[in-house]
């Protein structure tokens, strides 16, 4: 590169995170993935032009980017100004964002989600109750921004005969993502949202075929996987799950069995990738010590295995070197360092992220104004 580099000598041995990798038909130049990050800057649930700059800043040739969580329907919302992909207007708004990422040679997946009970009537059509696996209401909580005190409405338990409609919403969202030009979709099955509300026995108290046994609790999420795979092809579909987390009152009494069952089940659909949250991230913000490991799921899943959860350069490289995963998704570090792969390559210092600006409806501040290396040098 012709640049003077401080720190370790990077010329002698390859940096594991920066080695090429083939994910299905996608030839990736490195293993540093942009994790899906809610940013709440899509007015009226429509992606905005400022997202063009945000995503293209973080795009590299052969790098994988995953969008912020994107609603599959008008009942999927639980936060203000999060994007959707259920209307023609939303699909059209995503197109220039996708084009900008592709112009830089990036691979771009859209994360499709439904919040389930993590909502209130203000976000729901006609002020109806949010839908869920259960009618148990969430306790109020201070959101990650540290300022909003979120109050959740009592959810309505989905009837058995309504579930195929929600499955269809995910299928249509996947079709719309392809129409917008995305390379694929990631199904959001983590972090206490709708699919996780079915997966986890703390949140799922059903007595029909979607509740009770492990197989029954996984049934609806796997029906979503099947529908999406049938719609766009397994080579374009990943899924994110967090078996060990207990965000939003969605913990499980046997997380390891759940993670293993899901990894094995996803194999049957020949899913492109499985994106799992490390057990150490029991809560959204901070790492904790955990005796658990994703190793059994890594061994069980035959596709690409992506891990996330508080990683930095050193433990990310270690995870690659020890074959703990194929790629690592970085959230807060990538948010604050648009040129994160480059900084990892040069072992350069990192910008510090500003937590207070994660979710503020600012089109520039805390969004596209984090400096690149050349700006700060």
Active site residues: 193
The enclosing H or E element of 220 equals: helix 214-232
Instruction: State the Cα–Cα distance between residues 228 and 171, nearest whole angstrom.
Output: 5
Three-state SS for 110? strand
Burial class, 23, CB count within 10 angstroms (exposed 0-12 / middle 13-18 / buried 19+):
buried
| Cβ contact 202:252 at 8 Å | yes
Instruction: State the Cα–Cα distance between residues 116 and 356, nearest whole angstrom.
Output: 26
Structure tokens at 369: 């104004």
Burial class, 81, CB count within 10 angstroms (exposed 0-12 / middle 13-18 / buried 19+):
middle
Q: What is the DSSP letter of 64?
A: E
Instruction: State the Cα–Cα distance between residues 186 and 330, nearest whole angstrom.
Output: 15
Exposure b/e, 315-324, CB count within 10 A at least 16 = b: ebbebbeeeb
Instruction: State the Cα–Cα distance between residues 350 and 353, nearest whole angstrom.
Output: 9
Residue 225 has φ and ψ, to the nearest 5°, of: -55, -50
Residue 371 has φ and ψ, to the nearest 5°, of: -75, 150
Q: What is the DSSP letter of 345?
A: H
| Cβ contact 232:171 at 8 Å | no
| Cβ contact 336:354 at 8 Å | yes
Q: State the alpha helices, DSSP H only, in 45-151.
A: 50-57, 88-103
């Amino acid at each position: 590169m012709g640049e003077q580099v401080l720190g370790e000598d990077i010329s002698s041995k390859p940096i594991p995170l920066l080695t090429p990798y083939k994910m299905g038909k996608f030839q990736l130049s490195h293993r540093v993935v942009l994790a899906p990050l809610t940013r709440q800057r899509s007015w009226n649930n429509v992606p905005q032009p400022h997202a063009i700059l945000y995503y293209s800043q973080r795009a590299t040739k052969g790098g994988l980017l995953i969008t912020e969580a994107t609603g599959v329907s008008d009942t999927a919302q639980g936060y203000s100004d999060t994007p959707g992909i259920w209307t023609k207007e939303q699909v059209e708004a995503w197109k220039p964002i996708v084009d900008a990422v592709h112009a830089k040679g990036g691979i771009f997946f859209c994360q499709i989600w439904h919040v389930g009970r993590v909502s209130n009537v203000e976000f729901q059509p006609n002020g109806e109750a949010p839908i869920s696996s259960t009618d148990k209401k969430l306790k109020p909580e201070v959101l990650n921004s540290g300022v909003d005190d979120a109050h959740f409405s009592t959810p309505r338990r989905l009837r058995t005969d309504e579930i195929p409609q929600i499955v269809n919403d995910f299928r249509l969202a996947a079709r719309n993502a392809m129409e917008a030009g995305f390379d694929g979709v990631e199904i959001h099955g983590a972090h206490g949202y709708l699919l996780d509300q079915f997966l986890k026995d703390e949140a799922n108290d059903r007595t029909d075929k979607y509740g009770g046994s492990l197989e029954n609790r996984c049934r609806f999420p796997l029906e979503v996987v099947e529908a999406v795979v049938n719609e766009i092809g397994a080579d374009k579909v990943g899924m994110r799950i967090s078996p060990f987390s207990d965000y939003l009152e969605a913990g499980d009494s046997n997380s390891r069995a759940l993670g293993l069952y899901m990894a094995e089940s996803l194999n049957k659909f020949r899913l492109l990738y499985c994106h799992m949250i490390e057990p150490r991230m029991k809560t959204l913000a901070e790492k904790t010590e955990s005796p658990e490991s994703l190793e059994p799921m890594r061994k069980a899943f035959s596709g690409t295995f992506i891990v996330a959860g508080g990683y930095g350069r050193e433990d990310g490289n270690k995870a690659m070197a020890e074959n703990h995963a194929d790629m690592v998704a970085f959230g807060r570090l990538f948010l604050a360092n648009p040129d994160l792969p480059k900084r990892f390559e040069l072992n350069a210092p990192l910008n510090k992220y500003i937590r207070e600006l994660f979710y503020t409806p600012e089109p520039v501040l805390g969004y596209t104004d984090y400096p690149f290396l050349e700006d700060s040098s």
